[in-house]
Amino acid sequence: MIKWIVSHWKRDTGKFALLVIGALLISSGLSILIGLSESSKGTIVNSLEKKWNASYDIVVRPSGTKSETEKDGLIDPNYLSGLQGGISFDDLDKIKEIDDVEIAAPISILGFSSIIEIFGEVHFPESGIYKITTNYVENDGVRDYSDGYTAYYGFDIGLNHEDMDIISRYGLFASTEENLELHGSFTFLVAGIDPAEEAQLVGLDEAVDGSRYFSDSDKVHSINETSQGDEELEELGLDFNYKRVTAPVIMSNFSFVNNYQEAILEKLDLETDLESEEDIKEFLTELEQNGKEDYLDTFETEPVETVKATSEELHENLLEQSSLGAYRDLILYEKPSPLTYKAVPSPFPERWNIAYEIVPPANQTVNIPGEKNGDISDYTYYTKYRELAFYDDPSLSRAPRLTPDFLDYYDPRQLSISSDPVTELPMETYRTPTAKHMLDASNSPVNPPKQVTATSNPFGYLMQSPTMLTTMEAARKIMGEEAISAVRIKVSGVNSPGPESQSKLEAVAQEIRSETGLEADITLGSSPQPVLIKIPSVDDLDSLGWVEQPWIKTGESIAIYDEAVLGYSGIIICLMAVAIMYVFTTNLIAFLSRKKEFAVLKAVGWRNSKLRHLLLTESMLIGGFVSFLTFIVLLILRQENPESLSIWRICLIICFILLIYFVGALYPSYLVHNISPHQVMKQGEVSAKGARFGRTNGVVSLARNNLISRWTRNLVSVLAISLPTALLILFLFVSFQLNGVMYTSWLGEYVALEIGSMHYYAIILSLIIAIMTTAELIWQNVLERTREIALFKALGWGNPRIYMMVLLEGAILGLISGIVGIFLSIGILSYLYGDSLSFGQWLWLVLINVGIPVVVGLFSAVFPSIRAVNIEPYRGLE
Amino acid sequence: MYKQIQLNGITKTYGKQNVKTVALNDISIRLHKNNLTSIVGSSGSGKSTLLSIVGTLEKPTKGTVYYDEKNISEIRANQLSELRNIHIGFIFQQFHLLPALTAIENVLAPLFHRKTSYNKNTKAKELLELVGLSDKLHALPSQLSGGQQQRVAIARALIAEPDWILADEPTGNLDTETSEKIIALLMEIKQQTACGILLVTHDIALSRQADRIIEMKDGQIIADTRINNNLVQTND
Ligand SMILES: Nc1ncnc2c1ncn2[C@@H]1O[C@H](COP(=O)(O)OP(=O)(O)OP(=O)(O)O)[C@@H](O)[C@H]1O
Ligand SMILES: [Mg+2]
């Protein structure tokens, strides 16, 4: 039988060549895909290891500061944000004396200070009543937190701006000057460090802008300022008692927070133009009687101008003013305050086995006893994820003052810590900790995950890194003996994680614990563990959903977590489906084109089983050839990367290939039954039963009817084109709209759909196979219509019309595939991505989705159309 | 070895109720192996259909076919193939050679995977020699003329040493001279192998060479003439 089949192929070399090309495409596609997918995994691991590299080996914290989470062996990388001193200078000295402690760098988180800055000015164009809306908007990468207020100004209406009563009487400020300066506040973190140790640990001295780093000649002094005992002040009703510390500072020239300050100036549309004094008087009376601001709120306004300043501009301004010595009186106000976590069930335990929820303290309001000055009464705008902590109650009368002696700027990006600017490493003191917004409040994946950054809110869920650094001496003056929040330790002779360094570090940590009674944790070589943290609803803000942060898993060496990757299996499935369709089609076509032959064989007494056998053997021969090729290619690939490609896996692929060739031959061998040997008695061709829809009156309707009358087989090519097209759309969407990775939940698991160039190779391959599939089908259609076409030619149809007819057939097939593809890809997208597609994105999808398959269809029709044109007219007359 | 094929009340219709074509209408006939029977009739009269039913290529809508005493309708499809393969040789108007096979391979096609008491290859060569194509053993059908192709088809019909040869207008696509040669060949074969021949033809002259002429019209037999004993029977 094999001889029979081979002789068949030998005599129809064109068809055989086509078979070989298809076989090669399928085998190379599968083997390259399988080979490539393995090697691409290594890169993720390397980059993560590089990033996970702390600048210190051990961290020492005050005793009793271990949070709930550390029972699981997990340290919040943002641990400094909750540490308000607790380690004494004695302890620090003890630590320094321990052998092998090379660097012991203390840090004291002093707290937050705010300054009032001028961020811009507005101009009143003419006399009238104006409304100024000032907004302070902060963004943490997910949403805006805004705080604002409205004020009314009367410009040039004869009011005395020095008369303070105006505000309480009319609800507006008076201005006689055309320009009005706008003030905004800027909150930043102040920390104390040991200049010498810090220079050793992270090279802080190298990161300063000019040449002026801390030096021994810098003086720190403090005085107590108090009203107590001063009768004159007490008589005035003043009551203050604070420490003023004058100390050298350096300031970060980089702002990690993202906010802006904005003011909108609008003119009120009054009925009167306030020209005459009577008008003004009348209006003011009206104002006084009708409810001041509330009355002013009822007027229509006309925009005049908008002024905006970003956090970079504000920061720059701060630095400029600081270097000029403009700030003499920085009030240290908010203290660092810890977050409280509680363990909660993870929404996707496969991906994150540990999840916490932040527990915000209940009902926190700021009491401002006897406070008259309205400036600071807005403290309730804080999003209070932490317990409120202040140096003093909001009257500020006892909060310490810092008079900065500005030395220089430093650039936190030039410190000798992990050089990756978007480092995942959260433990560094000089980088604002980040997290990734992974799931929204309803637990659906966020696409793409957003980088979450700290805001300037002292009680937010992420604390900003220090902007102002001063010395430990200053910290001691401000906070006293136990001013140190943490000590970061580098042990001599320890460079990389490993069993030796581990035991050495363990010994040092143990000594610190026993000498000082403090907590000491080894950070070097600890494993990062992605932890999912729920940011709960707080005050009137909704829950943010879940963020992911790499936490420190103590006592465990580097272990990289796997992320289930969906994209790879997606393309393999697509390619396999297209391969199956191709094999199915070639088998079907082979069968259809030899239908008459089979009828003859049946007539001369061949059994059905023999014909079935013939078809199966033929298909398995090709399948065997394809699997052989694939096997060779995979073996070669395996040579380069032996451990990744198991023999078992190769065998699985080979089995799959044989299976599809087997399955592909099943349908045609089933059809063998339906061949009637009687057909050989007929004079004409074996003609398809025509289903006709509508009248045939032109090339278009002819092509359409040709397609409809053979709709079952055309369905195959529609599927073959539309499946890769749909995936292509999906891939393009993910690549361009989501930066290549779509996070999604799939069968209850959290997975990433990662798109790389490999995916596009696979799609192109699939489309080529689709072209071949379609080309074979149209070829067969043309073949079956040889007489018809010959007749058209005999009737005087020109070649262009014949071309048109066949090409149109391809184009229509493509168009239908495109429409099917649209539904497919939109279905997949909305299943994986939810329903958050915009109209523009839809349009974009639809356009490509129609374009590509039409081109594919046209391509497929090229060879069949040439064949159709070459049909001799006399064939119709035979 | 079937000596006689008998049709009893054979009716064959095509299509469904509203577009029904009656190809054969209640035909009863007995065919003998020692006859060369020719069937004539106008186009569409049901000749090919009759041949298909006799040759078991098709099942009748009504009626029974007997090969000697064997009722064909009781035989399963696989056994029918077997029966065709061993006892019937077909020759078609359009030759129906397998285009990818050479002349000798075409001749051997019916015996593919079948054991025979004789040497298949020698037999095939002998047959091709008989039909005058000993020099074209390895030619593909496309390299042969129409007459030559038909002769290959005849050789193919004979390879399994059938009891019957059923030929549907074997000369329909050939010129008169070649047609005569083909008929002469068939006569010769009949002489040599003693098989029954059923020949459908349009050509009255050719049909005259038969032992028996069956004339058909509208699916019915209108005349059944035995030539050698000059006895005319008419079936109504
Ligand atoms: N498969 C079929 N489906 C429907 N009708 C058929 C089929 N085969 C034959 N017929 C009809 O049966 C009738 C007899 O056809 P048949 O082929 O037996 O005629 P014929 O005598 O061989 O004609 P010709 O000399 O043209 O070959 C015709 O009317 C034909 O239309
Ligand atoms: Mg006929």
pLDDT digits (tens, 9 = 90+) for B170-187: 887 778 888 888 888 888
Distances A567 to A34, A411, A734, A741, A745 between C-alpha atoms, Å:
13, 41, 10, 9, 13
Q: Is the pLDDT of residue A550 over 50?
A: yes
Q: Is the pLDDT of residue B57 over 90?
A: no
Please provide the average confidence, as pLDDT, over all residues in chain B.
86
pLDDT in tens, A346-382: 998 877 888 999 998 876 665 544 443 333 334 545 6
Higher pLDDT, A292 or B103: B103
Q: Is the pLDDT of residue A474 over 90?
A: yes
pLDDT band at A762 (very low <50, low <70, confident <90, very high): confident
pLDDT at A485: 92
Distances B216 to A51, A331, B235 between C-alpha atoms, Å:
95, 121, 11
> What domains are defined for chain B?
4-234 (3.40.50.300)
Answer yes or no: are the C-beta atoms of A550 and A88 closer than 8 Å. Answer: no
Distance from residue B200's CA to the centre of ligand 2 (Å): 8
User: Which DSSP string do the residues of A174-242 spell out, in sequence order?
Assistant: EE-SSEEEEEEEEEEEEEEE-HHHHHHHH-GGGGBSSS----TT---EEEEEE-TT-HHHHHTT---EE
pLDDT band at A96 (very low <50, low <70, confident <90, very high): very high
Distances B54 to A44, B171, B199 between C-alpha atoms, Å:
75, 20, 12
Start-to-end C-alpha separation, chain A: 34
- Does the distance separating the beta carbons of B81 and A607 come in below 8 Å? yes
Name the interface residues of A facing B (CB cutoff 8 Å): 1, 4, 7-8, 11-12, 596-597, 600-610, 676-678, 680-683
pLDDT band at A691 (very low <50, low <70, confident <90, very high): very low
Q: Please compute the mean of the pLDDT values over residues A571-594 and round it to a whole number.
A: 81
User: Which DSSP string do the residues of A384-418 spell out, in sequence order?
Assistant: -SS---BSS-TT-SSS-EEEEEEEEEE-GGGSSS-
Measured CA to CA, the distance from residue B141 to residue A858 in angstroms comes to: 35
Cβ of residue B94 lying under 6 Å from some atom of ligand 1: no
pLDDT in tens, A628-669: 888 888 788 777 766 666 777 788 888 888 998 898 889 888
Answer yes or no: are the C-beta atoms of B40 and B224 closer than 8 Å. Answer: no
pLDDT at A567: 63
Q: Please compute the mean of the pLDDT values over residues A230-253 and round it to a whole number.
A: 86
pLDDT band at A246 (very low <50, low <70, confident <90, very high): very high
Q: Which residue has a Cα nearest atom 27 of ligand 1?
A: B43
Q: Which of A153-157, A424-428, A602-606, A754-758 is predicted least confidently?
A: A424-428
pLDDT band at A214 (very low <50, low <70, confident <90, very high): very high
pLDDT band at A878 (very low <50, low <70, confident <90, very high): very low
Q: Is the pLDDT of residue B83 over 80?
A: yes
Cβ of residue B18 lying under 6 Å from some atom of ligand 1: no
% of chain A beyond a pLDDT of 70: 84
pLDDT in tens, A176-200: 788 888 888 888 999 999 999 999 8
Cβ of residue B49 lying under 6 Å from some atom of ligand 1: yes
pLDDT band at B230 (very low <50, low <70, confident <90, very high): very low
Answer yes or no: are the C-beta atoms of A844 and A826 closer than 8 Å. Answer: no
pLDDT band at B73 (very low <50, low <70, confident <90, very high): confident
- Beta pairing class for A179-193 and A221-226: unpaired
SS3 (DSSP) at A589: helix
Measured CA to CA, the distance from residue A134 to residue A308 in angstroms comes to: 10
Q: Which of A472-481, A588-597, A710-719, A841-850 is predicted least confidently?
A: A841-850
pLDDT band at A419 (very low <50, low <70, confident <90, very high): very low
Answer yes or no: are the C-beta atoms of A357 and A342 closer than 8 Å. Answer: yes
- Does the distance separating the beta carbons of A610 and B90 come in below 8 Å? no
Q: Which residue has a Cα nearest atom 28 of ligand 1?
A: B44
Higher pLDDT, A846 or A801: A801
Ligand 1 atom with the shortest distance to the CA of A679: 1
Measured CA to CA, the distance from residue A234 to residue A799 in angstroms comes to: 110
> Angle, to 10 degrees, between the axis of helix A711-737 and the axis of helix A566-593?
160
Answer yes or no: are the C-beta atoms of A363 and A380 closer than 8 Å. Answer: no
Please provide the average confidence, as pLDDT, over all residues in chain A.
80
Measured CA to CA, the distance from residue A452 to residue A440 in angstroms comes to: 13
The answer to whether B79 faces chain A, any CB pair under 8 Å, is: no
What predicted TM-score, i.e. pTM, was given to this entire model?
0.66
Partner A, chain B 16-55, Cβ-Cβ below 8 Å: 48-49, 51-52, 55
Partner A, chain B 167-186, Cβ-Cβ below 8 Å: 168
SS3 (DSSP) at B42: coil
- Does the distance separating the beta carbons of B90 and A603 come in below 8 Å? yes
pLDDT at A355: 92
Higher pLDDT, B64 or B227: B64
pLDDT at A377: 37
Distances A683 to A171, A591, A687, B95 between C-alpha atoms, Å:
104, 21, 11, 11
pLDDT band at A698 (very low <50, low <70, confident <90, very high): low
Measured CA to CA, the distance from residue A871 to residue A864 in angstroms comes to: 11
Residue type, A412: P
Determine the residue among A15, A597, A600, A601 to mutate to test chain B binding: the one whose Cβ has the most chain B Cβ atoms within 10 Å: A600
Higher pLDDT, A709 or A718: A718
Q: Which residues of A touch B77 (CB under 8 A)?
A: 608
- Does the distance separating the beta carbons of B85 and A606 come in below 8 Å? yes
> Angle, to 10 degrees, between the axis of helix A647-671 and the axis of helix A566-593?
30
pLDDT at B222: 92
* Residue ranges per structural domain of chain A: 1-54+555-678, 74-492+501-512+523-554, 705-878
Q: Which residue has a Cα nearest atom 22 of ligand 1?
A: B48
Quote the tokens at residue A673.
Answer: 């039954």
**Residue in B52, B78, B86 nearest the CB of A681:** B52
Burial class of residue B218, CB neighbours in 10 A (0-12, 13-18, 19+): middle
pLDDT band at A536 (very low <50, low <70, confident <90, very high): very high
Question: A443, A450, A434: which is closest to A549 by C-alpha?
Answer: A434
Tell me, what DSSP letter sits at residue A510?
A: H
Answer yes or no: are the C-beta atoms of A658 and A623 closer than 8 Å. Answer: yes
Q: Is the pLDDT of residue A838 over 80?
A: no
Q: Please compute the mean of the pLDDT values over residues B116-133 and round it to a whole number.
A: 88
pLDDT at A107: 93
pLDDT in tens, B152-176: 998 998 888 889 999 988 887 778 8
